Amino acid sequence: MQQFCEQLLNGLNLGSVYALIALGYTMVYGIAKMLNFAHGDIIMVGAYTLLLSSTRFGLPWYLAVLLCAVVCCVLGVSIEKIAYKPLRNASPLTVLITAIGVSYFLQSSALLIFGSNKQKVDSLIKIKGFTVNGINVSGESIVTLSVTIVIMILLTLFIKKTKMGKAMLAVSEDKGAAQLMGVNVNATISLTFAIGSALAAVAGILYMSSYGFVGPYTGSLPGIKAFVAAVLGGIGSIPGAMLGGILLGIIESMAKTYISTDLADAIVFGILIVVLLFRPTGLLGKKRIEKV
Amino acid sequence: MSLLQVKNLGINFGGLKAVDDFSVNIEKGTLYGLIGPNGAGKTTVFNLLTGVYKPSTGTFRLDGELLNGKKPMEINRMGIARTFQNIRLFSNMSVIDNVKVGLHNHQTYSVFDGVFRTPKYYREEKSMNDEAVELLKVFDLENEKNNLAFNLPYGKQRKLEIARALATKPKLLLLDEPAAGMNPNETEELMSTIRFVRDNFDMTILLIEHDMRLVGGICEEVTVLNFGTELAKGKTSEVLNDPRVITAYLGE
Amino acid sequence: MEKFKSFLIRKKKPVIFSVLGIAVFIICNALISSGTLGRQGAGLLVPICINIMLAVSLNLIVGFLGELSLGHAGFMSVGAYAGCLFTIHFDLPVYIEFPLALIIGGLVAAIFGVIIGLPALRLNGDYLAIVTLAFGEIIRSIINSLEFTGGAGGLKGINKFSNFSVAYIAAMLTIIVIVNLVHSRHGRAITAIRDNIISAEAMGINVVFYKLISFVMAAFFAGAAGVLYGHHLAILKPGTFDFNKSIEILVIVVLGGMGNITGSIIAAIIITILPEVLRDLSDYRMLIYSIALIVMMLSSSSPKLAELRSKIKGRLRPSTGKEVA
């Protein structure tokens, strides 16, 4: 029981990180109708920024967090402007291959700059954990969970209550109609990439506080798994991304404990295939009628 | 017995009745028009008849055979071919290959024959090629046969879509706004092509059109749809003079 | 004589292809035996053939069917393990055993092609791409955790059966089968699905069947390529067949041009030789690949760049008056 509860907590911790990354995927997919394959690598960039700013140069934590968010935002928006924007009307195949290219570009650039060895990043979280009924609750878990919950609430409020949030919803429903209603589609898409990348930066920081090492490929696997989470929850749906992320995190840590560490990833991907086969719209996704 | 018998066909999209209680009988060899204001559900009827959408109510039969619930591929094989309102050619394939895709199901050589180029492959490919060229000639496209479909001018793309649909050798041809975007001269030419197809291919044609000159000029019978339901039906000249139809088009 | 002449005219392309194919084979063999290529050069011939098989088969899915498969290395690994386990455990004469191993590797991979093709029937675009990626990763994890595959340590003790002649014939067969398929009614059906799936269905094309056939064929040749690969290196490690390997094959296909088989062949040769020639640049290899992917995609689809390209083309090749206005 104690082990189960600790694994549940671990799962929630990991799941929160997945959920934050999945939000970026799902928002971009909802609005730009593309799978931003490079999204996972933004986490890696965020983690390296943290390494340089906090661990190497000793910036205070709030400046380090701010710097990470800004760097990732600028990167995300520039990627959109340079690589994706010219392809708005191209086939999905073309866009996806480009996104894979961007992902590889980020990874190989990091490899050239920082080398292939993983480097230690000091955790920003200094809060001490506590023990209830013999179950360890670490400071990292507390912070990760609370930060995730706060971000989810803020994001939901932003989309439901603000003008820009509503513009995002409008663009995701119908780009053309939104444009006719005076919504600046390009700005909205940029904003989506900015928010998604900032969330990835936060996810990167939280991921580092639990795992502690960054390498050029740090972002790729969590990125792909977060995409699985987004699909599981229903791509394009924000509550879906949260639910999918948390579920996936719990499943993964349970599988690691009770089945096999080697096969945990296979199980995660197996879930993706099963979901896509039997409920392609995910748990909370809407069905769309294709126009002919 | 009528070639196409549609009985009480209907479909709902989340509570909205896009088409309701649509019935029609089309005799073999007829040129039949389906008209109505924008959003009346005309293309939805086509999508129902070709299996893109599954009807919520009603049935339709071609030559007595029940077709509702069948997949687009099966319906095409049973004898209904169509064109699309927003042209859907195989745009990166050559003009003649577009027609050959239409002829696909009328050849029998297997994947093995194709991969190892058996005599059957050469024989059938040759007859397929001849047939495709013949069809292109009907539509005056034989000089374009090796061009890519997306390089064709608009009017020719519309014609190629009709040629491709005919290549599947249907009993019933559905044309979705064949004259859309054409100038009066092109429309005139298209009208004679459609008549030619009906007479020489022994074809029954159901077409959606906004151009009243075209409908009045070639259709023997029409149905007018408004808000998904039938407003009027009958001989073209009578229906087009019906005050209710004029009101539906021009408003009160 | 007259008959022969008309035969030559009618089958001009196949004849040229056969003559060229045999000539290349003889020249390469002569270069190997005379030692002109050197050890390093001769050692590259088999990998070139393997990459040609991988790229041409992947091109069937990406270039002609128009779907993205990110799990081609998965097919390759399944075939490789099946074929290599066969030659390890059976003891037949080489000239029977090795061709049989190639076929077995291909068939086992083809079965996996069906398994992946089945979800492909319901999915397309990004979703299908991610499923192929997931399959590739699942296969790798499973091979990693099984005992009879040697696990993470790898499968050792494989005979070095692969030589240039076998690899060359296998690559030629791959090219012939896929080119012929593409130029048949079946290939046109596959290409029609790529161009417009809705009208392909409306024309009576069996989309399910042709998606499946594409995946099965591509998987078969990737699997056979895997068998050659295993018998070339004499060791198989699951780590070799990761996502990066799939991307490397994709890079070849994209650089050669999607839907262009000759392009795939040339790109496979260049991408295999280049890293050996430019060893100093090996750190930059992935960076160059990634930039190549982005630039290729942007230049083929961005309206501004397309305009620029057609201008350059127009200058290089003045209008021949072939186009009918």
**What confidence tier does C274 reach under pLDDT thresholds 50, 70, 90?**
confident
Q: Does B104 touch chain C (CB under 8 A)?
A: yes
Quick one: which H or E segment has residue A230?
Answer: helix A220-233
The answer to whether the beta carbons of residues A140 and A125 sit under 8 Å apart is yes
Per-residue pLDDT reduced to its tens digit, A220-244: 889 989 988 998 888 888 889 999 9
The predicted model gives A13-18 an average pLDDT of 92
**Is the confidence at residue C321, as pLDDT, over 50?**
no
Q: Any idea what DSSP says for residue B166?
A: H
Touching chains, B (3+ CB pairs < 8 A): A, C
Q: Any idea what DSSP says for residue A98?
A: H
Q: Does B2 touch chain C (CB under 8 A)?
A: no
Per-residue pLDDT reduced to its tens digit, A159-171: 889 998 889 888 8
- Tokens of residue C134, six digits: 């997931």
Range with the poorest average pLDDT among A24-28, A276-280, B8-12: A276-280
CB pairs B-C closer than 8 Å: 101
pLDDT at B109 (0 to 100): 95
The predicted model gives A16-25 an average pLDDT of 93
Amino acid identity at C269: I
The predicted model gives B37-66 an average pLDDT of 91
Domain spans of chain C, in order of start? 44-184+214-274
Q: Any idea what DSSP says for residue B87?
A: -
**Is the confidence at residue B15, as pLDDT, over 80?**
no
Pick left, alpha or beta for residue A130 (phi over 0 → left; psi -120 to 50 → alpha; otherwise beta): beta
The domain over range B1-79+170-252 is classified in CATH as 3.40.50.300: yes
Q: Does C82 touch chain A (CB under 8 A)?
A: no
The predicted model gives C247-264 an average pLDDT of 93
With b meaning 16 or more CB within 10 Å and e meaning fewer, what string describes B37-47? beebbbbbbbb
Residues of B in contact with C259 (CB under 8 A): 92
- Tokens of residue C165, six digits: 């002649």
Q: How far apart are CA C242 and CA C229, in angstroms?
A: 15
Q: How far apart are CA A104 and CA C70, in angstroms?
A: 14
Helix, strand, coil content of chain B in percent (nearest 5): 45, 25, 30
Per-residue pLDDT reduced to its tens digit, B71-83: 999 999 999 999 9
**Is the confidence at residue A29, as pLDDT, over 70?**
yes
Considering CB atoms only, which of C184, C186, C206 is closest to B73?
C206
pLDDT at B211 (0 to 100): 83
Residues of C in contact with A113 (CB under 8 A): none
Residues of B in contact with C195 (CB under 8 A): 89-93
Q: How far apart are CA C139 and CA C220, in angstroms?
A: 16
H helices of B25-78, where? 42-49, 72-78
The predicted model gives B5-27 an average pLDDT of 90
Q: How far apart are CA B83 and CA C16, in angstroms?
A: 40
pLDDT at C76 (0 to 100): 96
The predicted model gives B217-226 an average pLDDT of 91
The answer to whether the beta carbons of residues C264 and C178 sit under 8 Å apart is no
Per-residue pLDDT reduced to its tens digit, A176-189: 888 888 889 999 99
Residues, chain C:
325
Q: Does A289 touch chain B (CB under 8 A)?
A: yes
Q: How far apart are CA C137 and CA C71, in angstroms?
A: 8
**Is the confidence at residue C318, as pLDDT, over 70?**
no
**Is the confidence at residue A122, as pLDDT, over 50?**
yes
- Tokens of residue C302, six digits: 């961005």
Q: How far apart are CA C115 and CA B114, in angstroms?
A: 24
Q: How far apart are CA C45 and CA C52, in angstroms?
A: 11
**Which of the residue ranges A165-179, C106-120, C200-214 has the most confident prediction, judged by mean pLDDT?**
C200-214
| Inter-CA distances, C276 with C234, C281, C291, Å | 20, 10, 20
Residues, chain A:
292
pTM over 0.80: yes
Q: Does B77 touch chain C (CB under 8 A)?
A: yes
Residues 6+ apart with CB under 8 A from C229: C50, C76, C80, C162, C236
CA of C196: which chain B residue's CA is closest? B90
Mean pLDDT, rounded, of chain B: 91
Q: How far apart are CA C325 and CA C321, in angstroms?
A: 9
Mean pLDDT, rounded, of chain A: 88
- Tokens of residue A247, six digits: 């579920």
CA of B47: which chain A residue's CA is closest? A292
pLDDT at C323 (0 to 100): 33
Q: How far apart are CA A126 and CA A95, in angstroms?
A: 42
* Cross-strand partners of B13: B16
The predicted model gives C308-312 an average pLDDT of 62
**Is the confidence at residue C322, as pLDDT, over 50?**
no
Residues of C in contact with A97 (CB under 8 A): 68, 250, 254, 293, 297
Q: Any idea what DSSP says for residue B148?
A: B
CA of C128: which chain A residue's CA is closest? A276
The answer to whether the beta carbons of residues A272 and A45 sit under 8 Å apart is no
Residues of B in contact with C207 (CB under 8 A): 73
The predicted model gives B200-226 an average pLDDT of 91
**Is the confidence at residue A18, as pLDDT, over 50?**
yes
CA of B48: which chain A residue's CA is closest? A292
Q: How far apart are CA B174 and CA B172, in angstroms?
A: 7
ipTM, two decimals, is: 0.91
Q: How far apart are CA A198 and CA B18, in angstroms?
A: 43
**What confidence tier does C17 reach under pLDDT thresholds 50, 70, 90?**
confident
Three-state DSSP class for B80?
Answer: strand
The predicted model gives C7-33 an average pLDDT of 83
Residue A131 CB burial class (10 angstroms; 0-12, 13-18, ≥19): exposed
CA of B44: which chain A residue's CA is closest? A292
The answer to whether the beta carbons of residues B12 and B56 sit under 8 Å apart is yes
DSSP per-residue letters across C75-114: HHHHHHHHHHHHHHH----HHHHHHHHHHHHHHHHHHHHH
CA C253 to chain centre: 8
| Inter-CA distances, B220 with B40, B81, B165, Å | 21, 20, 22
Interface test with B, best of C199, C207, C208 (most B CBs within 10 A): C199
Q: What is the percent of chain A with per-residue pLDDT over 70, rounded to a whole number? A: 98
Three-state DSSP class for B82?
Answer: strand
Q: Rounded to a whole number, what is the distance in Å from the CA of B43 to chain A's nearest CA?
A: 8
Residues 6+ apart with CB under 8 A from A242: A19, A22, A23, A152, A233
Touching chains, C (3+ CB pairs < 8 A): A, B
CB pairs A-B closer than 8 Å: 5
**Is the confidence at residue C278, as pLDDT, over 90?**
no
Neighbours of A4 (CB within 10 A): 12
pLDDT at B251 (0 to 100): 65
Q: How far apart are CA A113 and CA A105, in angstroms?
A: 12
Mean pLDDT, rounded, of chain C: 87
Q: How far apart are CA A259 and CA C204, in angstroms?
A: 47
Per-residue pLDDT reduced to its tens digit, A139-153: 888 889 899 999 999
Q: Does B84 touch chain A (CB under 8 A)?
A: yes
Considering CB atoms only, which of B90, B143, B165 is closest to C196?
B90
Q: How far apart are CA B199 and CA B179, in angstroms?
A: 19
Packing angle, helices C38-59 and C12-34, rounded to 10: 150
Q: Rounded to a whole number, what is the distance in Å from the CA of C232 to chain A's nearest CA?
A: 28
* Cross-strand partners of B19: B11
pLDDT at C227 (0 to 100): 97
Q: How far apart are CA B198 and CA B202, in angstroms?
A: 5
CB contact under 8 A, A263 and C145: yes
Q: Do the strands B4-13 and B16-26 form a parallel or antiparallel pair, or are they unpaired?
A: antiparallel
Q: How far apart are CA B81 and CA C199, in angstroms?
A: 10
Q: Does C270 touch chain B (CB under 8 A)?
A: no
Q: Rounded to a whole number, what is the distance in Å from the CA of C8 to chain B's nearest CA?
A: 15
Residues 6+ apart with CB under 8 A from C314: none
**Is the confidence at residue C303, as pLDDT, over 70?**
no
Q: Rounded to a whole number, what is the distance in Å from the CA of B1 to chain C's nearest CA?
A: 26
**Which of the residue ranges A147-151, A270-274, C281-285 has the most confident prediction, judged by mean pLDDT?**
A147-151
CA B243 to chain centre: 29
pLDDT at B246 (0 to 100): 81
Q: Among A113, A291, A123, which Cα is nearest to A208's?
A: A123
Q: How far apart are CA C11 and CA C32, in angstroms?
A: 32
Q: How far apart are CA A232 and CA A244, in angstroms?
A: 5
* Cross-strand partners of A89: none
Place of tokens 């990292």: A140
Q: How far apart are CA A211 and CA A217, in angstroms?
A: 14
